[in-house]
Amino acid sequence: KPVTENERILAERLNAMQTELLSHRMTINDQRAMILLQSEYVDSVRHQLATSEQKAAKPAGRGRLNADGMPKVLTADAFVARVKEHEAAQ
Protein backbone atom coordinates (compact mmCIF):
# COMPACT_ATOMS: atom_id res chain seq x y z
CA LYS A 1 0.00 0.00 0.00
CA PRO A 2 1.44 3.41 -0.96
CA VAL A 3 2.62 5.46 2.00
CA THR A 4 3.10 8.86 0.41
CA GLU A 5 1.04 10.84 -2.07
CA ASN A 6 3.77 10.49 -4.68
CA GLU A 7 3.74 6.67 -4.32
CA ARG A 8 -0.05 6.65 -4.71
CA ILE A 9 0.17 8.70 -7.93
CA LEU A 10 2.91 6.45 -9.29
CA ALA A 11 0.94 3.29 -8.40
CA GLU A 12 -2.16 4.63 -10.18
CA ARG A 13 -0.11 5.54 -13.23
CA LEU A 14 1.54 2.09 -13.21
CA ASN A 15 -1.87 0.39 -13.10
CA ALA A 16 -3.09 2.58 -15.96
CA MET A 17 -0.02 1.73 -18.06
CA GLN A 18 -0.40 -1.99 -17.34
CA THR A 19 -4.05 -1.83 -18.41
CA GLU A 20 -3.07 0.00 -21.60
CA LEU A 21 -0.31 -2.54 -22.30
CA LEU A 22 -2.78 -5.40 -21.86
CA SER A 23 -5.17 -3.69 -24.26
CA HIS A 24 -2.40 -3.30 -26.87
CA ARG A 25 -1.42 -6.96 -26.51
CA MET A 26 -5.03 -8.05 -27.02
CA THR A 27 -5.25 -5.86 -30.14
CA ILE A 28 -2.04 -7.39 -31.50
CA ASN A 29 -3.34 -10.92 -30.87
CA ASP A 30 -6.61 -10.07 -32.63
CA GLN A 31 -4.69 -8.71 -35.61
CA ARG A 32 -2.51 -11.83 -35.76
CA ALA A 33 -5.60 -14.03 -35.77
CA MET A 34 -7.14 -11.93 -38.56
CA ILE A 35 -3.94 -12.17 -40.62
CA LEU A 36 -3.87 -15.94 -40.14
CA LEU A 37 -7.48 -16.28 -41.33
CA GLN A 38 -6.84 -14.02 -44.31
CA SER A 39 -3.73 -16.02 -45.20
CA GLU A 40 -5.70 -19.28 -45.14
CA TYR A 41 -8.40 -17.72 -47.33
CA VAL A 42 -5.85 -16.36 -49.83
CA ASP A 43 -4.14 -19.77 -50.03
CA SER A 44 -7.50 -21.42 -50.69
CA VAL A 45 -8.42 -18.92 -53.42
CA ARG A 46 -4.94 -19.17 -54.95
CA HIS A 47 -5.31 -22.96 -55.11
CA GLN A 48 -8.75 -22.64 -56.72
CA LEU A 49 -7.36 -20.19 -59.28
CA ALA A 50 -4.41 -22.44 -60.12
CA THR A 51 -6.74 -25.41 -60.57
CA SER A 52 -9.04 -23.35 -62.77
CA GLU A 53 -6.13 -22.11 -64.90
CA GLN A 54 -4.76 -25.65 -65.28
CA LYS A 55 -8.18 -26.89 -66.31
CA ALA A 56 -8.53 -24.06 -68.85
CA ALA A 57 -5.05 -24.77 -70.26
CA LYS A 58 -5.88 -28.42 -70.95
CA PRO A 59 -7.19 -29.31 -74.37
CA ALA A 60 -10.94 -29.75 -74.40
CA GLY A 61 -10.69 -33.52 -74.66
CA ARG A 62 -10.39 -35.72 -77.67
CA GLY A 63 -13.46 -34.36 -79.36
CA ARG A 64 -16.25 -36.29 -80.98
CA LEU A 65 -15.92 -37.47 -84.52
CA ASN A 66 -19.47 -38.80 -84.64
CA ALA A 67 -21.20 -35.82 -83.04
CA ASP A 68 -24.53 -35.96 -84.88
CA GLY A 69 -25.67 -39.12 -83.07
CA MET A 70 -26.39 -41.02 -86.24
CA PRO A 71 -24.89 -44.49 -86.73
CA LYS A 72 -21.82 -44.69 -88.94
CA VAL A 73 -19.89 -47.50 -90.50
CA LEU A 74 -16.57 -47.13 -88.75
CA THR A 75 -14.64 -48.64 -91.62
CA ALA A 76 -15.95 -46.21 -94.25
CA ASP A 77 -13.15 -44.39 -96.05
CA ALA A 78 -14.51 -40.92 -95.16
CA PHE A 79 -14.69 -41.77 -91.45
CA VAL A 80 -11.20 -43.31 -91.42
CA ALA A 81 -9.87 -40.14 -93.09
CA ARG A 82 -11.55 -37.96 -90.42
CA VAL A 83 -10.01 -40.11 -87.67
CA LYS A 84 -6.55 -39.69 -89.20
CA GLU A 85 -7.04 -35.90 -89.50
CA HIS A 86 -8.23 -35.72 -85.89
CA GLU A 87 -5.26 -37.72 -84.58
CA ALA A 88 -2.83 -35.64 -86.63
CA ALA A 89 -4.30 -32.44 -85.17
CA GLN A 90 -3.53 -33.65 -81.67
2 vs 36: which has the higher pLDDT: 36
Amino acid found at 6: N
Measure the CA–CA gap between 27 and 76, rounded to whole angstroms. Answer: 77
Answer left, alpha or beta for residue 70, where phi above 0 means left and psi between -120 and 50 means alpha.
beta
At 83, the pLDDT band (50, 70, 90 cuts) reads confident
Does 72 score more than 70 pLDDT?
A: no
Query: Is residue 38 classed as helix, strand or coil in its secondary structure?
Result: helix
50 vs 1: which has the higher pLDDT: 50
Burial of 22: CB neighbours in 10 Å, binned 0-12, 13-18, 19+? exposed
pTM of the model: 0.52
